Amino acid sequence: MKTLNDLVEKLKREGVLKDPKLIDAFLNVDRAFFVLNYLKDFAYEDEALPLIEGQTISQPWTVAFMLDLLDLKPGLKSLDVGSGSGWTTMLIWWVTRGPTYASEINSHVFDLGVKNILNFFEVKFNKRELPPEVHLFNNNGVYDLKEYAPFDRILVSASSQALPKSLVDQLADNGILVIPIENTLVKVVKKDGKINKEEFPGFVFVPLIE
């Protein structure tokens, strides 16, 4: 069985994990907390793994690539849409330690993610409770968290057919949104009310439910 260090070193060698803050997050937010029990032996494989209800926990390479595009910094306010297992939410929180909002529309997947996150905090910090800056919601993150906007960073981990205007509207000035649109990862930067897009093709995600 591979180790967490094996996985991190692989991602570093492949040039996708290079920010020291992200490396620290990957080493501390152990993926093994967020995979299903029967798949623990595969937690450090660089591949997507099944969750429940047809959902997956994304491939570590892909997660590292997306979070690198987000350019996370301490203190930023973030939204994680399609938080699933809770792994990406905790990686974002670990780097930023800022207000971190996470939304999962499937109630069973949401319950699993909450359990994973609480287990993580219990083992890591000896407290089975969320810190005050972490907010978890069982709702539609594309529309239902507008009252907490604007967000400095938005991550979407499910594939949309088009760029959701609602999420662009919720993005702060100088904010960054990373979202899969069909089979392409799109980085959206908002500046002075205008958006600039970069595209990175060749990715596959579960569909975004809007």
CATH of the domain at 139: 3.40.50.150
Q: Which is nearest to 113 in space by CA: 147, 141, 143, 71?
A: 141
Q: Is 102 a domain residue?
A: yes
116 alpha carbon, distance to own chain's centre: 14
Q: Is 70 a domain residue?
A: yes
pLDDT tens readout for residues 134-156: 999 999 988 889 999 999 999 99
Is residue 32 a contact partner of residue 60, using CB atoms and an 8 Å limit? no
- Count helices and strands in the chain by DSSP H and E runs: 6, 9
Q: Is 208 a domain residue?
A: no
> Which pLDDT score is estimated for 210?
60
Could you confirm whether 85 is annotated as catalytic?
Answer: no
Q: Which range of residues forms the domain containing residue 173?
A: 4-201
Helices 20-28 and 4-13 cross at an angle (nearest 10°) of 160
DSSP structural state of residue 148: G
The whole-number average pLDDT for the span 4-10 is 96
* Residue tagged active-site, from 58, 83, 103, 159: 58
Q: Confidence class of residue 206 from pLDDT cuts 50, 70 and 90?
A: low
Q: How far apart are CA 197 and CA 210, in angstroms?
A: 21
Give percent above pLDDT 90 in the chain: 81
Helices 60-70 and 4-13 cross at an angle (nearest 10°) of 60
The residue whose two tokens read 């499910």 is: 158
> Which pLDDT score is estimated for 172?
97
Res. 1: pLDDT tops 60? no
Give percent above pLDDT 70 in the chain: 97
Q: How far apart are CA 196 and CA 198, in angstroms?
A: 7
> Which pLDDT score is estimated for 8?
97
Q: How far apart are CA 130 and CA 203, in angstroms?
A: 32
Res. 22: pLDDT tops 90? yes
pLDDT tens readout for residues 172-200: 999 999 999 888 899 999 999 899 999 99
Helices 60-70 and 87-96 cross at an angle (nearest 10°) of 40
Q: Which is nearest to 82 in space by CA: 48, 56, 47?
A: 56
Res. 70: pLDDT tops 80? yes
Q: Is 180 a domain residue?
A: yes
Q: Per the structure, how many domains does the chain have?
A: 1
> Which pLDDT score is estimated for 145?
93
Q: How far apart are CA 120 and CA 33, in angstroms?
A: 6
Q: Is 171 a domain residue?
A: yes
> Which pLDDT score is estimated for 209?
63
Q: Is 16 a domain residue?
A: yes
Q: How far apart are CA 170 and CA 148, in angstroms?
A: 9
Q: Is 206 a domain residue?
A: no
The whole-number average pLDDT for the span 37-54 is 92
Q: Is 207 a domain residue?
A: no
DSSP structural state of residue 102: E
